[in-house]
Amino acid sequence: MSTERDAARLRRMAELRALYEGHVARLRAATDAAPLQLAREAHAEMDGLLEQDRRLTGAEAVRCHKGCSHCCHGPVEIRPHEAHLLVEHLRSAGRALDRDKLERQSAYGVDTWREQPAADQACVFLDAAGACSVYDVRPNACRKLLVTSDPQHCDISRGEYERIERRFCWEAEMLESAALEVFGLQLMPQALKTALDAGR
């Protein structure tokens, strides 16, 4: 029995490895494509993978909802193209980014993010009602973070990390790992600053 389980696990690992390598090869071949197109394709692909996972696994219901924004107060790593898409989205909507806040946030990394004053920990796109103001073009890191446990456990001040449960989609993780390998990921403030500067 355990031999069967081991064989199945090895098959699954080989399948995921092949998937990852396929993504890396495809993304390397696409590095010359227009940044906005790359970002939109990445988002469509991520949405497709998550939907497929939901259908195939009958995964537990996601409990994230509008106004629940605990995860929007942590460090978020994004692709460079996603930063260009976010900046372009704001420009076309006639909206400006809080550049001062970006500068302050840029002094912090993944390990030190929570050392910022509480107000600065919030994503620059989080609105006063606790909703994402760029929802349609939010990065893949935000798209794939789907929590199935009680959202109150996501409140970092409660110290209940071990009670957070999320829907974990290996295919989605392979896609973003490949993007990390090919494009590199950056924390959102740094990536946005670079995209803003490039558009000047």
Binding site residues, ligand SF4, CB under 6 A: 72, 76, 123, 125-126, 132, 134, 138, 142
- CA 64/CA 142 separation, integer angstroms: 11
Q: How far is the CB of 134 from ligand SF4 (least distance, A)?
A: 6
Nearer to ligand SF4, 49 or 78 (CB): 78
Beta bridge partners of 147: 166
Contact predicate 99/196, CB 8 Å: yes
- Give the distance between the most distant pair of CA atoms in the chain: 62
Nearer to ligand SF4, 19 or 189 (CB): 189
Contact predicate 178/24, CB 8 Å: yes
Q: How far is the CB of 132 from ligand SF4 (least distance, A)?
A: 3
- CA 81/CA 36 separation, integer angstroms: 6
Nearer to ligand SF4, 24 or 126 (CB): 126
Q: How far is the CB of 127 from ligand SF4 (least distance, A)?
A: 8
Q: How far is the CB of 185 from ligand SF4 (least distance, A)?
A: 14
- Which candidate, 37, 38, 18, places its Cα nearest to that of 28? 38
Nearer to ligand SF4, 30 or 113 (CB): 113
